[in-house]
């Protein structure tokens, strides 16, 4: 148990003792006192367990929400079927270098993009040397760095060495762009379902600057790459 958890436990036990001594002074029956003490111990135990396994519980909650929302998709005959979300977009949960991340699939985005915090959590190889990519957005110019995704798994689809751009300006929004979609055997929308059909491991055939000198739409925000 960590020092923080020990301090929390000590504080909780002290509070329990103070409450118990007050109840004893008021001559509360022993049976009622025992039941109240047991209830408080259960509450304290649950809080400590939640604090100890916070990361694991967060990951579990994400998986449950992904299953309920359909963001993990459904594999049918080798194809991945993704239902449209209530906001009219297609969201998926993919594993980036073994870390689960939420993505918007956007056929208007030339390049796959990730927020800085998510990219760091997934251990992306982010280029620090050379000039950054300068993006002109509706909110002004922002800088992004080139990166490579070693492995991205989405249902039956595995993408390796996938080119991406990373910027804190993207916030919590990750995007799977056309450099991912165009490497599939096919992709199409039928009604409110996006259907992805894998063909091969994607990404490895791309050059380091593939697709970086073109216009993009990232999450409905138009921007153009500018080289300084």
Pairwise pLDDT comparison (194 vs 209), residue with the higher score? 194
Q: How many Cβ atoms from other residues are within 10 Å of residue 172's Cβ?
A: 8
Helical spans, DSSP H, in the chain? 3-25, 30-52, 54-69, 116-121, 178-181
The reported pLDDT for the residue numbered 88 is 94
Max CA pair span of the chain? 80
CA 84/CA 70 separation, integer angstroms: 9
Range from 28-37, 72-81, 170-179 that averages highest in pLDDT: 170-179
- The model's pLDDT over 109-122, given as tens digits with 9 standing for 90+, comes to 888 999 999 999 99
User: What's the mean pLDDT when you consider all of the chain?
Assistant: 76
Give one DSSP letter per residue of 187-210, joined into a string.
EEEETTEEEEE--S-BSTT--TTT
pLDDT at residue 161 greater than cutoff 80: yes
CA 227 vs. chain centroid, Å, equals 30
Give me the mean pLDDT over the 50-76 stretch: 59
Q: What is the pLDDT of residue 8?
A: 62
Residue range 55-74: average pLDDT?
A: 55
Taking only the tens place, the pLDDT of each residue in 34-57 is: 676 677 677 777 777 766 666 555
């Amino acid at each position: 148990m960590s020092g923080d958890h020990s301090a929390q436990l000590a504080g909780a036990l002290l509070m329990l003792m103070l409450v118990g001594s007050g109840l004893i002074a008021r001559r509360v029956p022993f049976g009622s006192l025992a039941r109240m003490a047991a209830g408080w111990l259960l509450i304290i135990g649950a809080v400590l367990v939640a604090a100890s396994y916070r990361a694991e519980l967060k990951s579990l909650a994400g998986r449950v929400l992904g299953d309920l929302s359909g963001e993990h998709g459904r594999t049918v005959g080798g194809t991945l079927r993704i239902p449209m979300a209530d906001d009219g977009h297609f969201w998926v949960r993919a594993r980036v270098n073994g870390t689960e991340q939420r993505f918007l699939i956007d056929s208007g985005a030339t390049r796959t993009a990730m927020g800085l915090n998510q990219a760091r959590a997934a251990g992306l190889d982010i280029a620090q040397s050379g000039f950054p990519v300068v993006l002109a957005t509706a909110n002004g110019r922002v800088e992004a760095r080139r990166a490579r995704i070693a492995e991205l798994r989405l249902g039956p689809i595995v993408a390796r060495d996938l080119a991406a751009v990373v910027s804190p300006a993207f916030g919590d929004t990750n995007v799977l762009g056309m450099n991912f979609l165009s490497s599939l055997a096919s992709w199409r929308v039928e009604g409110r379902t996006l259907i992805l059909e894998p063909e091969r491991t994607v990404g490895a055939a791309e050059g380091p600057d593939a697709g970086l000198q073109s216009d993009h739409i990232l999450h409905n925000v138009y921007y153009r790459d500018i080289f300084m």
